[in-house]
Amino acid sequence: MPTRLSPRLAAIVSALPLEPHFRVLEIGCGPGAAARAVAARLGAGHVLAIDRSATAIAQARAAAAGEIAAGRMSVRQVAGEDFVLLPGEEPYDLVFAVRVGALDGRRPEAGRRLLDRVALATRAGARLFIDGGDPLRELPIPR
């Protein structure tokens, strides 16, 4: 069953420059609607949806049971500023976040830590997008 998104979230997901093989990281996934929509657009790729909230991760896990079982998506409870790749986990090609205070200027210190974590978890040439543009804004990943 297709994921229903608000018009704003649908515009954000549509604007992501996804490739079928990409490994995608969503920071602050909430109940996982955007991550499920991204998973539907990937071929051999994978999306990892993370959130600091156990409730959000439980909702995302339940809603994405099919995508998780198919290997197109996984979820993990962790704050973005604490995220690290697990042993053997491949780095990510694209990262996105919607309404994440650490990246939209509301929590600058957490934002610096999060950007450092993103740099360690992504391939060279990876891209980071947040909401707040038309509909996206790209942030540089520090290298």
Contacts of 120 (CB under 8 A, 6+ apart): 84, 85
pLDDT cut 90: percent of the chain above it = 90
Check whether 124 has a pLDDT greater than 70.
Answer: yes
Check whether 2 has a pLDDT greater than 80.
Answer: no
pLDDT cut 70: percent of the chain above it = 98
- pLDDT range class, residue 1, cuts 50, 70, 90: very low
Q: What pLDDT does residue 3 have?
A: 65
List the beta bridge partners of residue 130.
97, 137
Tell me the pairing of strands 136-139 and 122-131: antiparallel
Q: What pLDDT does residue 130 have?
A: 96
Q: What pLDDT does residue 61 have?
A: 98
Tell me the three state secondary structure of residue 100: coil
The mean per-residue pLDDT over the stretch 116-134 comes to 96
Q: What pLDDT does residue 29 have?
A: 97
Tell me the three state secondary structure of residue 108: helix
- pLDDT range class, residue 47, cuts 50, 70, 90: very high
Check whether 135 has a pLDDT greater than 90.
Answer: yes
The mean per-residue pLDDT over the stretch 8-31 comes to 96
